[in-house]
Each structure stands twice: as C-alpha cells, then as structure tokens.
Structure 1
C-alpha cells in the first residue's frame, strides 16, 4: 500500500535546506582524470613526462603529485608565508607555483585544475575516478586493489608478460587494453582516443527568451521558412544534437509550437547568458550548442561544420564574426567547463557571453558561409531578409 505524503494530508512539504541542483560529474581533480599506480613514483612521473610532448599540441594536461623532497632548497628562508601571508605566487621563470596555507581540499583542487583537458594523478598518493595500472614487481598492486575502481589501461613493465592472478580476479570480466610501459607512442595514442571517447554529449539550445524590443514583435515567432523561427532553429539543431530545448521566459513556455521542449529561464534578466546558465543548471555534464532564434539564414551545413571541428578540450568552439575578429557567442558550442567560467564572469559583474569567450581559451573557426551568421533585429532587416529568402 502506498504511503501518504505530506501533500496528500494537506500538510506543507518538508523544508529543503539546499536547492536540488544537478552537480557536475567531476572527479577528485577534473572531469577527465587518470591515476597511474603500480610502480615507483619516479617511474610514474617519467611516464607522464614522456607522454606530454605527444599530448600537448591538442590537450592541456596537468600532473598531481606529492612533494618527495624535504623542501625547495633554493627558496629563501624568509618567504612571505613565514611572516603571515596566506598565499604566495612565485614566478619561477619557467613556471609559476602557488603556495598556500590552506589545505588542498576537494573543492579547491577542482577549481584550480578544472580548466585542464585532463589530469594525470600519481596514484600512489592520490585517488582518481579512472586509472592506469602498471604491472611491476617493484610496486605490486595487491594491497591497492581498493584504488582500482575503474581501470582503463594496463601497462606491462619490462620482463612482465601477463597479469598476476590477484589482478585478473579483481578485474573479473573487464578487459582493459594492455600495452608495454616503454611504448610511449602507443600509450599517447590510447590517451588521445580515451579522451575523445570521454567527450561530453552535445545538446541543443535555441535562445528565444528575449523581448525583441528592436523588432517590436517576438523574433522567435517570425516565419521566414513557413514555420516559426524557434521551430526552424530547433529543427536545424536536431540534425546535430542528441536533443533540443528552447530557452524562453516562463510566460512563453505555453506558446511554443507542439513538439518543442521549453527550458524557462532560471537566471533572470541576464539576456542570453541567463539562458545558457539555465541550460547548464539543467545538465552541467553536457556540452550545449547554442543558437539564437534570429538567424534565418543559418544552415545545417554551417552547424555540421561547427560540430565536426569541435574541440571539447577548450572552453568553447565558436565562429569568428564576419564583421570583426570577435567570436560569435550565439552560435557556439559551450563545453561543460564553461559553466564555471560564465559564473565567474557573472560574479565579476559581466553578463556578456562574448566577453567570456574573448577572455578564455576557445577553438575559433572561420565560418564556411559567413552569410549564415547574419542576424535580423529590426523591421527593416526583416523585410530585406524576407525578400532574399523569397
């Protein structure tokens, strides 16, 4: 027999202390991270050093390790930390190092390393959500099986030809790829393929929640192609995305044509940024291909070109404006990491998505058909567009 709820009894719902937010699927350090364990720390660090030259042209990889020395002997004894500073950023000429009094808690490390394409982790000291296991008699894994929660790759050290029985039993039916530890090129290729396969899914978002003040009528309801523009744009996105939502104001949700899925703004009075942030609140683990509803010349070919040249390791993939060198934010693939970037700009008092793109690491493309990016904002522009489109 079903249990009666508070609402069934006419009672107020229980108080919820925190908002029911969808949380990003971030690991200990990054969305994409690999702990390497099963060998001495020097072997692990050497492996990462060998891989980085092969990965760095396309991926920004970080490395997390413990300090194996007693301290930086070259550092002066009277650093600012010793006299009360809470943090010190030291320019080491070839790199910068942030020393802080506070501990490296889960939230701080995700913030500091979240902008990286992936993070390699010394699994002898730290955990990560997926792992590379090295088979070596110098550092057997038998006592660290609890850290092998999702093994993606097995590396055989010199002289090793098979997996030890305890590891075979632990893996069960799982059959990770097996490579030689000294085969740097093959391992780097595997990392590239693993990273590509881990790219977030792509969802579509039609921005149709504006007040259309210059047009003096709802731009989303204009019909250049025999159907409303918000429906036309959603159809284009459906060709390249797993599903499509229409960003709108709450009062517009019931006016959408049949078959369209509304996503009412939850970040109010922020313009397009409010719609993008609402999409990430709905699903922070997807990338969002965002398209404004006032682009009647946009084609499927231009969207396919954008998707085929997507770089999931950047904050976003965008087209350069045909009129200047700036990126076009309203026909852009926003990757999950851009959620934090947009919120950071909002915290600084900026609600301009283009400003976030200009000041972030993005994949900037030249549009194959610049006329496709032409947006229509005024009655005069509308009349001209209607004549051109027939």
Structure 2
C-alpha cells in the first residue's frame, strides 16, 4: 500500500487569551511563529497550510497558505478536522504555533519513525506521559475516528489519541515540546533562546 502524502498544518487559529496577544505573530526567531513553524514543516511536507479562523486569513504574512476553520468553536480539533476536510487522503503533520524551542531534528525523529498503518504517530509528553496531539502525524484513517469521538461529545484530540491505536515516541529532547502560553513564559523563553545564540 502506498504511504499517504504528508502535508503540514500550523495551528494558529486560537484566541491566545492567556498570552493577551496573537501567539502566532510573536517572534522568537528571525520570523514570526507562523512563518517559523511553516518553514520547519516545509522541510518534510510538500504543502504547508496555516490553520486560522476565517477572520484571520487576511492577516497572514505573505507566502503563507491559509486554511480557514470550517469546524468552528472546537479549538485545535477544529483545525485538524478542517485540514482533513480539505484533503482526507493526506496525512497531516500538525504543529501548534507556540513551540519556539522545537527543532528540525525533533521533527525528523517524528517523521522517520512514522507508522502509517496506525491512526497517528505522536510524542509522549514529558510532563504527563500522554500523547502530544499538537506535535503529531495524523494519518487519513484518523479523520473518521475524530468525527466519531466528536459525535460522542469529545472535542479533545489528546483523548482521541489516548483511546486509539497510535505510535507513541519518546521525544529525543523533551524540553523542545514546551509550549509558551503566557507573557511570563514568553519572557523566559525569549531570554533562554537569546542565551543560546
């Protein structure tokens, strides 16, 4: 069986309420987080889209391809389902836009250990041992599974992974999965990244 093509999805449609400003527009590197994350994905995926709310499409930096949410009010799950609606035959490598420590090497580990016969390939969270749904490869067969979970009232992609047949990998550098959600975390992350340069 042919392995489904791998497309990239940057999740940038959140309301960033804790950060009090759009997390995707923050800049920890040379580009903002939407551009930086899309560039990471482009090394592994021939096509990269940025998941946004319909009202955000016009605000994306030039060169980024928006994928407007068609499943509204579902948080990250809405972005993942909207990607599958756009191309149900692809696998989607999904990344949140608030992961400034994530590197190409960690993504390469995920892609090279991908198991297309399973529903998804995910990293185990270093904080609670559960799958990290927003640093995962979702295979085409997960589309129906996610819709089924949604019909049962579950809109948490992590719950879907926990209750499905997935490949769960130990992250090579656990701290790279750290997401940045608040102004205090942003200040600490900016300082740490500057010290590494």
What TM-score results when the alignment is normalised by the length of structure 1? Answer: 0.50
Quick check: which has more Rg, 1 or 2? Answer: 1
Query: Is 1:335 equivalent to 2:134 in the alignment?
Result: no
Match of 2:60 in 1: 256
Q: Distance in 2 between matches of 1:340 and 1:319?
A: 22
Query: Is 1:202 equivalent to 2:6 in the alignment?
Result: yes
Query: Is 1:386 equivalent to 2:179 in the alignment?
Result: no
CA shift for structure 1 position 333: 0.1
Gaps of 5+ in 2: none
Larger helix share, 1 or 2? 2
Per-residue Cα deviation, 1:265-303 (whole angstroms, up to 9, x for no partner): 000000000000000000000000000000000101111
Match of 1:314 in 2: 118
CA shift for structure 1 position 240: 0.7
SS in 1 for 2:8: strand
CA shift for structure 1 position 356: 0.1
SS in 1 for 2:185: helix
Match of 1:214 in 2: 18
What TM-score results when the alignment is normalised by the length of structure 2? Answer: 0.98
CA shift for structure 1 position 242: 1.4
Q: Distance in 2 between matches of 1:325 and 1:208?
A: 25
Q: Which has the higher contact order (CA 8 A, sep 6+)?
A: 2
RMSD value, Cα: 0.5
What is the correspondence of 1:92-111 to structure 2 with a 5 Å cutoff? none
SS in 1 for 2:109: helix
Query: Is 1:323 equivalent to 2:127 in the alignment?
Result: yes
What is the correspondence of 1:1-390 to structure 2 with a 5 Å cutoff? 195=1, 198-390=2-194
CA shift for structure 1 position 258: 0.7
